Amino acid sequence: MTEGGAGQSGRHSAAYGRDGTAHAVASPVDLGDLGASRTEEVVPEDVPPLTEQTRREVREIMARYPRPRSALLPMLHLVQSVQGYVSSAGVALCAEELNLTKAEVGAVVTFYTMFKRRPAGEYLISVCTNTLCGFLGGEEIYAAVQEQLGIHHDQTTDDGKFTLEHAECLAACDYAPVVTVNYEFYDQQSVESTTALVDALRAGDRPAPTRGAPLCSFRETSREIAGFSEADRAATALVGPSVGEPSIAGLRLATQRGERAPAGGASATAGKDA
Ligand code: FES
């Protein structure tokens, strides 16, 4: 998570839309004592407010867990599904419902890179530049997309369509170099295939990911992560393969060799080590 604007005065203040238009922000809420930036939160005019419906759904999430505070992560994803990021108002809502301080909730928001501090675009493009992907072309892909979109890490295009970030391993090293759009995988990418993907998205198409569910918007994805799958999307959720050849190559080799996992699982191993 990178820097963000944590409003904290509790008074009316000025904020600016993507077009630079100033507008009033009613009662911005602070994120608590994060020890970080204390600049005013920037709330674009097109960000919808959190409503009583949001609060009802927050409580619905809490009811899924034996200990309500275990619900914090999906609650934050729900906030993000409404506003496109975790606003200070969203932090305050979660803190109030869970009887936590805003500082405690803010600490979670700032820890996880999936929680955005400014409104994300319709498509969050994550390019893995970690070791394996970096060596196999991830750095070049990232540089090409930066130039294509005219933005850098954690920035959003003026039309609100794209947010770009470089990612530290997307847990798909066997498909390197990997790019995700709204966390859906596009495997074994090249500069050409990724820039073509971005062009297609810009033209209004949604090319199918290599594996898993069809692509949807960042806010729809956030709602799904929060545990609210829309019926029509759920019906198509498994259109793509969930696993590809590189992931099962090791399993196939082990089977050919007659290798098996040790009996007893992790607890037996832990006992031996002790
Ligand atoms: S290094 Fe790119 S997915 Fe792991």
Position 249 scores a pLDDT of: 87
Tell how far the Cα of 131 is from the centroid of ligand 1, in angstroms: 7
Under a CB-based contact definition with an 8 Å cutoff, are residues 195 and 148 in contact? yes
Q: Would 102 be classed as within a structural domain?
A: yes
Q: How confident is the model at residue 233, as a pLDDT?
A: 62
Ligand 1 centroid to residue 84 C-alpha, Å: 26
Whether 22 and 83 map to the same domain: the answer is yes
Q: Which domain holds residue 46?
A: 13-111
Residue 238 pLDDT: 60
The stretch 39-56 carries a mean pLDDT of 85
Residue 248 belongs to a domain: no
Given 91, 111, 131, the domain boundary residue is 111
Q: How far is the CA of 183 from the centre of ligand 1 (A)?
A: 13
The total number of structural domains that make up the chain: 2
pLDDT of 96-131, one tens digit each? 999 999 999 999 999 999 999 999 999 999 999 999
Given the CA of residue 170, which atom of ligand 1 is nearest to it?
3
132 CA: nearest ligand 1 atom: 1
Residue 221: is its pLDDT beyond 60? yes
Specify the ligand 1 atom closest to the Cα of 128.
Answer: 2
CB 121 within 8 Å of CB 171: no
The region, left, alpha or beta by phi > 0 then psi within -120 to 50, assigned to residue 20 is left
**Residue 273: is its pLDDT beyond 90?**
no
Same domain assignment for residues 79 and 138: no
Is the pLDDT at 260 greater than 60? The verdict is yes
Bridge-partner residues for 186, per DSSP?
Answer: 179
Domain boundary among 64, 82, 111: 111
**Domain co-membership, 81 together with 159:** no
pLDDT at 35 over 70: no
Question: Does residue 176 carry a pLDDT above 70?
Answer: yes
Confidence of residue 268 (pLDDT cuts 50, 70, 90): very low
Interatomic CA distance for residues 269 and 178, integer angstroms? 33
Mean pLDDT score of the chain: 83
Going from the Cα of 163 to the center of ligand 1, the distance in angstroms, rounded, reads: 20
Which amino acids bring their CB within 6 angstroms of ligand 1? 128, 130-133, 169-173, 176, 178
Tell me how far the alpha carbon of residue 168 lies from the centroid of ligand 1, in angstroms.
Answer: 7
